[in-house]
Structure 1
């Protein structure tokens, strides 16, 4: 069955908020033919300008009769400040009620929140605008941390590129891990940025002052995932004492060096589990865990699900 997706845009929308998710879903069609079909919706059909002045043409206007499964509301400076008239808002709300799922990309959450005024929603948006969203729409709980959030049939995502993370999560929900992994590979993106991953990545947290001392170590650790690396060895790599290194990690990443390295290993394990015909014991041994049981316990602590449960969606 083809899922009919409609993207709502208005003048001043962010181009990547549209084309990031759209390309993700269209790429999925190469793996699952006719999985998704897409159309563009605006206040009126016709030309719509991006935030930087380029134009696209909307297929539909809010007065048109539209059949849809997913309503996707894009963000951008124009969407964040968009004022809809009563009839326009009613028409868009009717579409949202008809849709099986409603997504917002970045500051599209400012429009989405208007569509469900009586529903207590948990949403996210770009970290810079979370306070404004919470203040303007007090029926919503706004979280500045995650990359995306699902609240029943309503999904919201953080800034710009997290729309691709949300779209990959939807592909994974619709067609399983294996298809989502192939789409991510074709797009040359990192598949497993989970929704509860913070908007600020480890790399971004390290782009100032003394924290830059950790960047070479982080790069090196990413090449040592099948090894056992002690804190002493890490400190030696950085020409720091163990105490200095631990202080830097706690200050800038809020964790110890050993915890950070274990997290790297587990994230890599999650990627490996998306490969077909790979054994859980092989993954455990490849990453240097003493036993499968210790790997399983660590995986559950990190992701809230066992490795075997995680792989169940791969061949759906």
Structure 2
């Protein structure tokens, strides 16, 4: 088998990281033994250089209109220019044409808008950067948009979330093409902390913003993060916060988007995921440290949040430093 051509579609206002996560990861895969190797090509309308969101200029290797097959993987980058790119019939028309020639099709971040406009996401599940997911869903009602996952694969079409999720999707492609060992080698090469599963949420709750003027919720969140193994029932949190259970629930729904109980369960699940991938603690110890009453409770939480069991999560996504 010859080279696998990965055609990356760029345009004015594309995000440099969206492009570089894919191209650099595949380049490392080539250097450590991808066989067949990847041939990475950046194509732009008219073959012109593009100005990325950051102001840096990138030179194209191919003219989008003149690209022909075979194409192994077609990747449409995202960026602030995605709406202009989607409104350009030249871009969407040739993306549609090239998609028919490709083994698999993907978008990074807001590149999903271009795929949707080209009709490639109709009646499919898809994701995009969480900040733009609602806009995508409103503009394309025939697309089932889920803003949570890092990436979604529906048939031969994959969409990924914001920016660095392109790395996770590319690692998944490398693993599919060449096996887990090579994918882990690429992760080591880019110094990735962890190859995250596609079902993992784009936005960790520990990074999610909370209203800065609501001290009750901020204090409750802080207590949860530092006392996962303790009693974190709504009554306990309300007593610590000095408000009624009803008031605490109302404040959490308004400022954290969930009930206190839902927030606690997600906090414990994310903390358990970190321990599973960064330590050798047995499941019972992980469950105990994170406040789950039993390994079965931990298992149910993982199935609900990640769609895999804790043991499978650990086996598939162990820290890459453990790779042979």
TM > 0.5 fold call: yes
Given candidates 306, 309, 316, the residue that maps to 2:309 is 306
CA distance in 1, matches of 2:117, 2:111: 10
- Residue 67 (structure 1) shift: 4.2
Who is 1:50 aligned against?
Answer: 52
Given candidates 218, 221, 230, the residue that maps to 1:228 is 230
Given candidates 149, 152, 161, the residue that maps to 1:149 is 152
Q: Where does structure 1 lack aligned partners over 5 or more consecutive residues?
A: none
Who is 1:252 aligned against?
Answer: 255
Worse overlay, 177-186 or 37-46: 177-186
Given candidates 108, 112, 135, the residue that maps to 1:109 is 112
Moved over 6 A (4+): none
CA distance in 2, matches of 1:277, 1:79: 43
Q: Scaled by the length of structure 2, what TM-score is found?
A: 0.73
Q: Secondary structure at the match of 2:71?
A: coil
Cα distance change on mapping 1:117 and 1:242 into 2, 3 Å = closer
Structure 1 residue 272 corresponds to structure 2 residue 278: no
Cα deviation code 1:234-280 (max 9, x no counterpart) = 44654545554333223333444343223222222223333586543
CA distance in 2, matches of 1:204, 1:152: 31
Cα distance change on mapping 1:6 and 1:271 into 2, 3 Å = farther
Q: Secondary structure at the match of 2:125?
A: strand
Note if contact 2:109-2:162 (Cα within 8 Å) is conserved in structure 1.
Answer: yes
Q: Secondary structure at the match of 1:125?
A: coil
CA distance in 2, matches of 1:280, 1:59: 50
Cα distance change on mapping 1:246 and 1:157 into 2, 3 Å = same
Cα distance change on mapping 1:256 and 1:43 into 2, 3 Å = closer
- Residue 134 (structure 1) shift: 5.2
Counterparts of residues 157-306 of structure 1 (less than 5 Å):
157-167=160-170, 170=173, 175-176=179-180, 179=183, 183=187, 187=191, 192=196, 194-195=198-199, 197=201, 203-210=207-214, 212-225=215-228, 227-231=229-233, 234-235=237-238, 238-275=241-278, 279-306=282-309
Matched residues, number: 311
